[in-house]
Structure 1
Amino acid sequence: MWNGEGAVRWNLNWRRRLFVWESTLLDELLLVINRVVLTDVEDHWGWRAEKGEMFTVKSTYVLLANKFLTGMAIASEQAAMFKAIWKTSAPSKVEGFSWMVLHNRIPTKDNLFLRKIIQNEGECACVMCGIGLETVEHLLLYCDVAIQVWGRVLSWLGMEFYLPHNLMSLLNFLADVQGRKQMRKGLIMIWQAVIWALWRHRNKIVFENGITDVIGLVEEVKISSWKWWIARSQTLSCLFYEWNQAPTLCLLR
């Protein structure tokens, strides 16, 4: 059906004469297939984002970032935070979750409603407080339960808690604390531990009929952050006694 000798052209033969509307479709088809270049080279799989070469995760990230984040102005401070969340001692799934939180990509009820998964807007109330609309900022920051957890965690760290504008502001505040680089990384990791614990707690309420337990959430944050830090630590010292005496110093040294 294709003649590659001399002037390249398609030889499309039909069993009957085409109607006028079919001729129009044929013209549209030829516009598409005439752009195809046929060669004698053996076919192979290629990743278009790498110009037909091997697939890479980096090129996929750039492709998606350009598609979904086009037109979003990101300040230099925010760009630094997006890099910092990938360099803590938290597990990779928690680091990925942090990235999704900052981009409002987790399946909170308001996002599920926008995607038509939840049909009734009246079903979008926060599962932890039952009052506000369950958005990322409400669930992980403005909910009464979240406020109590943040307050207790920052008190544990010896810091005062002032309700910030959003989660990025709180992250910037913790990352801007004066001290060694390891201390700032520890505080960013604790920020990740808090939002991870709140999200897991939310899911327990939704799927396992769990009950709200602020004290339990705070303890989970302490234990998780301690385990993550020890797992990535290059030293094998025993810190149980020091943890009981001064948990903040134990984490951030």
Structure 2
Amino acid sequence: MQSLDHLQLSPSVPDKRSWSLSSSELFTVKSFFLALSQISGLPSVFPTKLVWNSQVPFKIKSFVWLVAHKKVNTNDMLQLRRPYKALSPDICMLCMEQGETVDHLFLHCSMTMGLWHRLFQLTKIDWVPPRSVFDMISINFNGFGSSKRGIVLWQAACFAILWVVWRERNARILRINQGIQRTFGT
């Protein structure tokens, strides 16, 4: 507030709004996001076209977008949002070994890792898992070649792995819940 003490306002000059983060001086979500990305160290460009222009059903595109931005209801997110409804302890339903986070479930879980390794073996690519799903989606692999068809197949295969992992995780949770209901008659 002290920096405003020396500011002289002129009542005869009309007020004007301006946004210094864009060349047009108008606020846009894009200019704000780019500025925020630079401050937080996030990659400034997420391959949105890769997700939204892919040749997969819309619900899978939407799902992949949510996964990339860590907005799916994995156990760690449920613990934060609704601790009374989350599975306890916070454990991955596929490997039953570690806590369930987006990056663990879709990349680092031993069950999921097997799927990724198999896909990369099919394409004869040596692979080291990236640290996050966001990074995985951002990396431009040409697993089935650089032709349009190869790119479409690669995207579909990667998105299918994410989708299948999520469906299997949910199916396991449902089986557990059905067993509990039968046991307790609720």
Query: Does TM, normalized by the shorter one, top 0.5?
Result: yes
Deviation of the 1:70 alpha carbon = 8.4
Q: Summarize the Cα distance change of 1:157–1:176 in structure 2 as closer, same or farther, 3 Å threshold.
A: closer
Deviation of the 1:67 alpha carbon = 10
- Aligned residues, how many? 146
Distance 2:73 2:162 in 1: 14
- The aligned counterpart of 2:36 is 71
Q: Summarize the Cα distance change of 1:120–1:197 in structure 2 as closer, same or farther, 3 Å threshold.
A: closer
- The aligned counterpart of 1:57 is none
Percent of pairs identical after alignment? Answer: 24
Q: Does the 8 Å contact 1:154/1:160 carry over to 2? A: yes
- The aligned counterpart of 1:87 is 53
Where structure 2 has 5 or more consecutive residues not aligned to the other structure, the ranges are 1-27, 177-186
Q: Summarize the Cα distance change of 1:132–1:90 in structure 2 as closer, same or farther, 3 Å threshold.
A: same
Where structure 1 has 5 or more consecutive residues not aligned to the other structure, the ranges are 1-61, 210-253
The answer to whether 1:208 aligns with 2:181 is no
- The aligned counterpart of 1:133 is 99
Distance 2:35 2:157 in 1: 30
- The aligned counterpart of 1:164 is 130
Q: Does the 8 Å contact 2:69/2:134 carry over to 1? A: no
TM superposition score normalised by structure 1: 0.50
Distance 1:85 1:123 in 2: 33
- The aligned counterpart of 2:149 is 182
Residue-by-residue CA offset, 1:110-169 (whole Å, 9 max, x unaligned): 000110244678421111111111000000110110111111122123323322222233
TM superposition score normalised by structure 2: 0.66
Distance 2:116 2:150 in 1: 18
Deviation of the 1:83 alpha carbon = 2.0
Q: Summarize the Cα distance change of 1:67–1:145 in structure 2 as closer, same or farther, 3 Å threshold.
A: farther
Amino acid at match of 2:169: R
